[in-house]
């Protein structure tokens, strides 16, 4: 048993949970042992009255709830879950991820044992299949030797490889409940136990082949499903880790590092260059430039002066540490409010999950009752009764049905990975073909989160190369977005006395002369000044050059949007940028519908309005401010360099950093859904067809196991028939299109 008491220590408890209203705390866990909708209901009943806002996700195998540490320590809740057979994994710590990986390795070992043993048992049982079990055709001594050999190989398969089924079933029964593992464990135990007794007695039919094939196929099915589950768990681990922050607090004795939970309103905090602001607060310094792209979507640095409010999560772009007085902490920060929107969007369950929750227990009980009814029908013929019992259990166990969807989803995930798309949630592939509206964020999504030098206009004796060399020397080593635009510009100079002046630019001495690079002294009548960033290089007497920087539009953005519109999808741009920048980008990419200066709440409201009109919406974004509308979208996609919070909720992660993959991804999802329908139809037809035969005594257990095996292989083979698709042709934008 795990020692969960360590999580009652305030430091560790605060590192794995986040503050919630009313003195409560919120925790996100991975859950091992949750295999069906009945398990979801059991978990919610276990925590009823002891925790609030309980939400268990069967797809991602995660559990989120709020608890009051003064009334119910976290350790008792974790122990309750473990005692019921659900092993918690704390996603906010690396230990939880390591435990998941160790469990994956253990599952692979069990599959290996099950495959080897099942193959040997089937080989040893083949004489029985060939001669119909007629003792006259097989020497009794050889037949008994084959029985013991099968028992030898079946034992590690059942007791080691099948141990997870027995543990899960025992915990469910001990809690006076049932799950799918109850039927699995019952059929395997009856088949193995009866066979072992008959092997010792030296007479009667044996079912080692049924038991080993059953274990092998179910383990493979769960492993296929578990691969996607682990991906979803890693995304959610990033979300949990995002909430764990520390702060540098100023005291009379100096600067001390404190956990975020220890920060109180009125404290003076220090934020080093390149670090994010931990809480909402008031700027105490004269001026500071902040990167607020993750919170507001604004691509440019924002100048703040003393007395301005800084939001938690924005980045200090200056060379000096800044000071602020804490105002809103914990759940009252802007970052926490955005996270709360995300949690609310996640809370609603789809209708099919609610239906599965209601029917799960009834289905399991029905299977057990049918098996018992079949056995009673043939009593007192013990051999026939036992044979019917096993045949019904095996035939009713939906192995092919359980593989039908995961196999198709795994094949689709493999095809998507080849295109640079990670499918974190397989259920999104069911909705992707239905998408008729696409909502794009701007910064970091349709454009890259960087600026590019597009024109240099010398105004004195220096040529273009000389101006760029001086400007690159002045910007070298700075973190400002403008400085990053000069990062790849070669320069033979080195700047000294370098000084960054918030809102004005940077000054320094280059080759014995003082220069300043920053906002133009006179803005002029440039029609695109509101769109592009224009900076001016000056010496102590005059302007030397104007340098124009433009947002880098993704090479595949125009082609992707055009392909979406050709496919009949409506495409909209939602951005936190100003109207001029948004309209300019829309003209470049051929977009007619644009909403600028959008807050996270406004983005979410627009999406929900479209959904009320019956639209199926794909949302694509990258920032923290995009997380709520990604969570509420029918399908969501996140960019690989975006915020962890956005990636944690996204159904699709574009690891290839390419929007073009969204078009073939939709085609792959359509193919996958076709394969799913075919697989489910076949699996249902198979189960409904063999069940009457099993109850009638026509279908022997080994025949049911063999048919189940062939049925499972058929659905897997069908799932692998996905066609390869070609991505959208990428076409770089020329200068005329950019401007």
Q: Phi and psi (nearest 5°) for 548? A: -100, 130
Token look-up 């600026």 returns 451
H-state helical runs in 540-620 = 557-566, 579-589, 600-612
**588 touches 733 (CB < 8 A):** yes
* Whole-number Å distance between alpha carbons of 563 and 314: 35
Angstrom CA distances, 420 to 147, 232, 416, 481, stand at: 51, 17, 6, 27
**69 touches 25 (CB < 8 A):** yes
* Whole-number Å distance between alpha carbons of 423 and 32: 21
* Whole-number Å distance between alpha carbons of 459 and 707: 83
* Whole-number Å distance between alpha carbons of 676 and 63: 27
- The pair of three-digit structure tokens given for residue 116, joined into one six-digit string: 């080897």
**89 touches 81 (CB < 8 A):** no
Closest to 663 in 3D by CA, of 374, 420, 350, 401: 420
**Which of 32, 441, 532, 556 does the annotation list as catalytic?**
441
**708 touches 399 (CB < 8 A):** yes
Of the CA atoms within 13 Å of residue 604, those in its CB half-sphere come to 21
Whether 657 is catalytic is no
**626 touches 441 (CB < 8 A):** yes
Closest to 24 in 3D by CA, of 67, 55, 78, 54: 67
* Whole-number Å distance between alpha carbons of 502 and 53: 45
* Whole-number Å distance between alpha carbons of 203 and 198: 6
The residues with which 64 forms a beta bridge, in sequence order, are 28, 55
Q: 146 in helix, strand or coil?
A: helix
- The pair of three-digit structure tokens given for residue 198, joined into one six-digit string: 């008959």
With a CB cutoff of 8 Å and minimum separation 6, the contacts of 657 are 420, 639, 640, 641
Peptide bond into 149 cis (omega under 30): no
Would you name the residues annotated as active-site residues?
Answer: 441
């Amino acid at each position: 048993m795990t020692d969960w008491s360590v999580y009652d220590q305030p430091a560790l408890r605060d590192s794995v949970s986040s503050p919630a209203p009313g003195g409560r705390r919120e925790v996100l866990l991975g859950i091992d042992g949750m295999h069906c909708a009945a398990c979801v209901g059991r978990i919610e009943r276990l925590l009823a009255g002891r925790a609030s806002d309980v939400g268990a996700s069967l797809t991602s195998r995660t559990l989120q709830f709020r608890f009051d540490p003064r009334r119910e320590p976290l350790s008792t809740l974790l122990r309750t879950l473990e005692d019921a057979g659900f092993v918690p994994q704390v996603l906010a710590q690396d230990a939880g991820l390591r435990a998941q990986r160790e469990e994956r390795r253990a599952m692979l070992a069990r599959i290996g044992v099950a495959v080897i043993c099942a193959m040997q048992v089937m080989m040893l049982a083949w004489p029985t299949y060939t001669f119909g079990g007629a003792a006259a055709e097989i020497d009794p001594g050889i037949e008994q030797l084959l029985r013991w050999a099968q028992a030898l190989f079946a034992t590690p398969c059942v007791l080691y490889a099948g141990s997870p089924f027995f543990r899960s079933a025992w915990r469910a029964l001990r809690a006076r409940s049932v799950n799918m593992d109850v039927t699995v464990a019952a059929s395997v135990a009856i088949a193995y136990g009866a066979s072992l007794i008959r092997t010792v007695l030296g007479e009667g039919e044996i079912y080692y082949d049924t038991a080993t094939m059953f274990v092998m196929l179910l383990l493979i099915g769960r492993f296929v499903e578990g691969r996607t589950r682990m991906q979803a768990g890693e995304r959610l681990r990033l979300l949990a880790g995002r909430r764990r922050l520390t702060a540098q607090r100023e005291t009379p004795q100096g600067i001390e590092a404190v956990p975020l939970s220890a920060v109180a309103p009125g404290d003076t905090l220090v934020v080093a260059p390149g670090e994010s602001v931990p809480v909402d607060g008031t700027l105490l310094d004269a001026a500071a430039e902040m990167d607020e792209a993750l919170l507001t979507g604004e691509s440019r640095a924002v100048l703040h002066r003393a007395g301005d409010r800084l939001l938690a999560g924005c980045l200090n772009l200056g060379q000096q540490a800044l000071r602020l007085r804490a105002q809103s902490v914990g759940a009252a920060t802007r970052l926490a409010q955005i996270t709360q929107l995300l949690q609310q969007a996640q809370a609603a369950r789809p209708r099919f999950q609610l239906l599965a929750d209601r029917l799960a227990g009834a289905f399991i009980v029905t299977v057990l009752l049918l098996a018992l009814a079949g056995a009673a029908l043939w009593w007192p013929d013990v051999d026939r009764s036992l044979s019917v019992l096993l045949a019904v259990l095996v035939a009713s166990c939906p192995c092919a049905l359980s593989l039908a969807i995961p196999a198709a989803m795994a094949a689709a995930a493999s095809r998507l990975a080849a295109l640079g798309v990670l499918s974190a949630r397989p259920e999104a592939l069911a909705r992707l073909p239905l998408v008729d509206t696409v909502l794009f964020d701007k910064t970091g999504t349709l454009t890259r989160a960087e600026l590019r030098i597009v024109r240099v206009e010398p105004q004195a004796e220096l040529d273009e190369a000389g101006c760029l060399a001086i400007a690159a020397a002045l910007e070298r080593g700075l973190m400002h977005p403008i400085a990053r635009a000069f990062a790849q510009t070669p320069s033979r100079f080195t700047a000294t006395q370098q000084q960054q002046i918030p809102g004005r630019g940077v000054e320094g001495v280059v080759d014995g002369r003082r220069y300043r690079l920053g906002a133009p002294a006179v803005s002029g009548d440039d029609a695109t000044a509101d769109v592009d960033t224009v900076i001016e290089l000056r010496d102590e007497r005059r302007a030397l050059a104007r340098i124009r920087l433009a947002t880098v539009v993704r090479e595949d953005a125009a082609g992707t949007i055009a392909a979406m519109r050709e496919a009949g999808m409506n495409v909209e741009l939602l951005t936190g940028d100003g109207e001029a920048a948004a309209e300019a980008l829309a003209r470049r990419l051929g977009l007619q519908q644009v909403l600028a200066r959008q807050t996270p709440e406004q983005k979410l409201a627009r999406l929900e309005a479209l959904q009320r009109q019956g639209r199926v919406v794909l949302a694509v974004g990258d920032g923290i401010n995009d997380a709520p509308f990604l969570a509420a979208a029918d399908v969501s996609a996140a960019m690989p360099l975006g915020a962890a919070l956005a990636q944690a909720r996204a159904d699709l992660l574009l690891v290839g950093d390419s929007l073009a993959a969204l078009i073939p991804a939709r085609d792959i999802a359509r193919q996958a859904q076709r394969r799913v329908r075919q697989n489910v139809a076949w699996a249902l037809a198979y189960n409904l067809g063999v069940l009457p035969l099993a109850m009638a005594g026509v279908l022997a257990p080994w025949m049911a196991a063999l048919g189940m095996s062939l049925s499972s292989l058929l659905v897997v083979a069908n799932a692998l028939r996905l066609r390869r698709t070609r991505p959208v042709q990428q076409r770089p934008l020329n200068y005329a299109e950019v401007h």
